[in-house]
Amino acid sequence: MPRKLMMLMMLKTTRMKPKANKKNPLKHPDQRVGVFIDVQNMYYSAKNLYGKKVNFGNIVQEAVGDRKLIRAIAYVVRTESQDEIPFFEALYNLGIETREKDLMIYGGNKKADWDVGLAVDAMRLASSLDAIVIVSGDGDYLPLVEYLQNGFGKQVEVVGFGETTSSRLLDQADDYLDLGTQQDVFLIGEQKPKPKRK
């Protein structure tokens, strides 16, 4: 087999990805983008890693770049106390839609999983999007990413914190934005000091 033909075949079968946080030549202004935010995953990652909150407005802005935002949807949990209502309003004011689910308590265990809801919305909206951004590091989204890429031919990007993002999800994504590398942009609040060990 001629070397040139062999190289061409290798290029077609190898997923070429830019390094994290570098400009991706596959992103262009005519792309229609949907952003799907797993709020619980982002909230707990930021809280546990840095003791801070997430700036979802900056995340959406960076993920979309100079492309066309079609939909940005945040998947959130509603509690009986409704303390989260101001947060939901802030998301709305940023142009981020919310999908709300009540916190369920089963035998003392709290449950509020949005994985299936986010996946269904991403598949439902895929025909009107060129690029799909999943804001989560949860490895449970791997089958969704593969399906959107192979079944719909979509560019799928992942946004998350490097320390808590599934390595398999990173490997499959067409592009990845590590929020931990720009904490001043993507996190809000003072870092809480860690308790000293005695």
Residue ranges covered by each domain of the chain: 37-188
Amino acid, res. 2? P
Provide the pLDDT for residue 7.
42
Residues 6+ apart with CB under 8 A from 27: 65, 67, 131, 175
Fold adopted by 37-188: Rossmann fold (3.40.50)
Question: What is the reported pLDDT for 77?
Answer: 86
**Which residues, at least 6 apart from 59, have a Cβ–Cβ distance to it below 8 Å?**
37, 42, 135, 159, 179, 186
Give the pLDDT confidence score for residue 102 in this predicted structure: 75
Share of the chain above pLDDT 70, in %: 79
The pair of structure tokens assigned to 142 is 């791997």
pLDDT in tens, 24-58: 777 889 999 999 999 999 999 999 999 999 999 99
**Cβ atoms of residues 40 and 140 within 8 Å:** no
- pLDDT reported for residue 191: 58
Q: What is the CA radius of gyration of the chain?
A: 18
- Tell me what pLDDT residue 189 has: 85
**Residue 154 near residue 185 (C-beta atoms within 8 A):** no
Across-strand partners of 178?
160
- Specify the pLDDT at position 110: 62
Q: 74-87 b/e with 16+ CB inside 10 Å = b?
A: bbbbbeeeeebeeb
Residue linked to tokens 């033909």: 5
Closest CA to 121 of 104, 99, 138: 99
Low-confidence residues of the chain: pLDDT under 70: 1-23, 104-106, 108-112, 190-198
